[in-house]
Amino acid sequence: MKQAALANELTVVDSRLMKRVLYAFVALALLSAAISLGGKWFGHSIAMAGYTDDATIHQVVIGNNVIAVPANAIRFAQARRDGIASRLDLYLRYPQMDGYSEAARDDFNHTGAAKNIVFLSFEQRMMSRDMSGRFAPIYSALITKPGIAGPGGTTVYGFNEKSGYLNEVLVVAERPGKDPFVARCLSGPSADESLAPCERDIQVGDELSLTYRFPREFLGDWQTLDAAIATEAGRVLKTGH
């Protein structure tokens, strides 16, 4: 009887032990799977470095305007949502005018020698004139003349000491029947270190200002660049009435 009872007791102990071992193996398997999935997700997040290849369209409202753009063109993660905003920052590959993707990874990471990313910022208009309209009443009094010949038929002017525009130049090109094309560009070492040292703003939509920054190399084809920016703004922008 004692032997039978002992045998039954050992059987129960063995059964409990096997269950614990089984549970331990299951727990380890689940933990391993979680670590694997987490590692893949975290590794993907590191590889994306703040970018996203998500092409979901978001509708961002600024004033009386709706800007409909894919998430992969929106520069900052917190802005990749529908709703009201005071400003929207985008980045696009030029001349394709598309957002981040696996195929465009090297362009957005700036791993090649060429710079081809433009940065766009939409916000409510603060000035009555855009940069072209400000040339005659403002900029023309702040530059030193004569300027020097620049790329694409432009003229590059330095700013005078009282202008407040340190380490910048003004790039101007005449446009028949229109105000001139005008952009401000960094000069010297600052320009070499910047991905997009030139800046220009235009008026779009209903009381919106669009500022775009671009590599200085694009000045040689400023007409095409300016037209592409205006076309893209018209494509993504819907203005209420």
Question: How do residues 181-209 score in pLDDT, each as one tens digit?
Answer: 999 999 999 898 999 999 999 999 999 99
Query: What does the pLDDT read at residue 24?
Result: 46
Query: What does the pLDDT read at residue 213?
Result: 98
Average pLDDT score over residue span 210-219: 97
Say if residue 241's pLDDT is above 90.
Answer: no
Where are the strands (E) in the chain, listed by range? 57-62, 65-70, 83-84, 87-93, 117-124, 143-149, 155-159, 168-173, 181-186, 198-204, 208-214, 237-239
Q: Which of 46-55, 56-65, 73-82, 113-122 has the lowest mean pLDDT?
A: 46-55
More confident residue, 42 or 28: 28
- Distance (Å, whole) CA 214 – CA 116: 8
Question: How do residues 61-93 score in pLDDT, each as one tens digit?
Answer: 999 999 999 999 999 999 999 999 999 999 999
Average pLDDT score over residue span 206-217: 97
Say if residue 9's pLDDT is above 70.
Answer: no
